[in-house]
Amino acid sequence: MGLPHSTRLAPAPQIASLLPVPAFPDPASLDPALGAFLHQASDQLCQWWATASERSPLPPLSVLPEVAPGAQGLAPAQLLAELQQVMEGAYNPCHPGALAHLDPPPLTASVVAELVCAGLNNNLLAEELAPSLSRLERQLTGWMAVALGLGAGAGGVLASGGSLSNLMALVVARQRAGLAGHQGALVLGSVDAHVSLGKALAVMGLPSEALRPLPVDGAGRLLPAALEDALAVARRQGQPVLAVVATAGTTVRGAVDPLGAIAALCRAHGHWLHVDGAIGAVCGLTRGHRQRVAGLELADSITVNPQKLLGITKTSSLLLLAEPERLGACFGTGLPYMEASWGGGHGGEWGLQGTRAAEVLKLWLGLRQLGLAGIEAVVDGAISRRRYLQRQLEPLGLDLSGGPLHLLAFTPAGASPSQAEAWSAQTRQRLLEGQLMLSRPLYGGRHHLKAVLGNPHTTNAHLDQLADLVAQSLSDQQP
Ligand SMILES: *Cc1c(COP(=O)(O)O)cnc(C)c1O
């Protein structure tokens, strides 16, 4: 197969001789040096994974290799040696004690797809730069939107992170409400809503007061009565509402706002409901846990971050809409320098990003690797571990702040802000010495320790050890 020899193009010899081999893949033959380079890099990565439990979740400060490119390029062996130095200092999400954040170990099919994605080097800006991948993205976002209950015809777009998904959602909501350029428009959400909403408003040219933080109940859920009051006040004062944002999985404790009650208020008053489900929306893909995010299907738009619990490699976020055409209406430019779309539209016309990696590949292959049973098992394991840890911590005299998902925050019962700050700092250090890494968020005015139980390598024995260290730290603190 292939073109006759005379029509094959070979790199100009003088250019090739200035470049280290194999700088670019040989388009005409299988290059054993390139194969060896990729194999060695993959062996090195497998070795890093295989020794993860011997290193701390948080490595000590490491020495970086030379940063600027040298006068001459480097050969594979040197490149791999320098790569190894950076890997030594990398955060270690595969360690069973890595429990601090929403950054789980990577799904292996997702890693493979990421490598191939880089090798294909397609661009989701336009169909002619990513023919199969553009269709894959449209079909997969359509599948997920329908699976989460948004109805026939639902779909969306991938974005490099949930902050961007939230921003795009608010821009679409604003356009739908006819409020583009309106300085007094409001966004209503709870005090526990994600900080990315503030960034979104800044990008949208709205003052920070445009975000009305509403109170939550004792379990961290937005109070529908407070939303109802705020909507009434806004009406009386003639302030238009751009969108209501409900959170399905708040960042510190994993609370899920009462989506059904919030959706009913939005419907009654004609407001856009965006659900920030960066953490919790994946529960909607399971049979056993979808009731934890009941009402998700009533949203106009949903942010989903498969990078946070499912282990799809970063970044992996989707913005899903019941009416995905609104994306094109908002972000379409006509792309005058591209061939017209022959399929469902150029990816660059569906969102804020222009040139965009085909992040859909690692999402698709990762979900294919897990299957619905695997998705269920990942979510189920995470929630079971949260429940187990909660049972171990309950007798210890802590204020526990949790929710229905896989996050749990805690601080000594009745501690003052300064006591909580000192205790959490000391205890985090003590846990780190035991190779258990928790984070230390400020929540409700006091520092907490927070465990995120999304790591499938964490066993009950690790959680027992965690509870023991916390108990010791509490008893050391007694006068
Ligand atoms: C993480 C998170 C985001 C932002 O997602 P990024 O991918 O970090 O940009 C938004 N909302 C919630 C609730 C989150 O936890």
- Residue 206 and residue 229 in contact, taking contact as beta carbons nearer than 8 Å: no
How do beta strands 407-412 and 449-452 pair? Answer: antiparallel
Output the pTM of the full model. Answer: 0.96
Q: What is the pLDDT of residue 335?
A: 84
Nearest C-alpha neighbor of 296 from the set 311, 282, 317: 282
Is the pLDDT reported for residue 4 higher than 70? no
Can you say how many angstroms the Cα of residue 136 is from the centroid of all Cα atoms in its chain? 20
CA distances from 159 to 211, 357, 358, 360 (A): 23, 10, 10, 10
Task: Return the bridge partners of 241, or none.
Answer: 186
Q: Helix (H, G, I), strand (E, B), or coil: what is residue 76?
A: helix
Residues 6+ apart with CB under 8 A from 115: 38, 42
The neighbour count for residue 16, using CB atoms within 10 Å, is 13
From ligand 1's centre to the CA of 303, what distance in Å?
A: 9
Q: What is the pLDDT of residue 55?
A: 96
From ligand 1's centre to the CA of 187, what distance in Å?
A: 17
Q: Which amino acid type is present at position 318?
A: L
Nearest CA to ligand 1 atom 15: 251
Q: What is the pLDDT of residue 21?
A: 76
- Across the chain, what does the average pLDDT equal? 95
- Residue 181 and residue 175 in contact, taking contact as beta carbons nearer than 8 Å: no
- Residue 2 and residue 20 in contact, taking contact as beta carbons nearer than 8 Å: no
Q: How far apart are CA 265 and CA 386, in angstroms?
A: 32
User: Cα-flanking dihedrals φ and ψ of residue 242, to 5°?
Assistant: -80, -45
Q: What is the pLDDT of residue 5?
A: 58
Substitution candidate for ligand 1 out of 101, 160, 194 with most atoms within 8 A of CB: 194
The per-residue pLDDT for range 16-41, each reduced to its tens digit, is: 567 887 899 999 999 999 999 999 99
Ligand 1, residues at Cβ distance < 6 Å: 161-163, 166, 194, 196, 247, 249, 251, 276, 278-279, 305, 317
The per-residue pLDDT for range 160-219, each reduced to its tens digit, is: 999 999 999 999 999 999 999 898 999 999 999 999 999 999 999 999 999 999 999 999
Nearest CA to ligand 1 atom 5: 162
Q: How far apart are CA 471 and CA 473, in angstroms?
A: 5
What ligand 1 atom has the least distance to the C-alpha of 193?
Answer: 13
Helices (H), 51-151: 76-88, 108-120, 131-147
Q: What is the pLDDT of residue 1?
A: 44
- Domains of the chain, earliest start first: 62-91 (no CATH), 114-368 (3.40.640.10), 377-476 (3.90.1150.170)
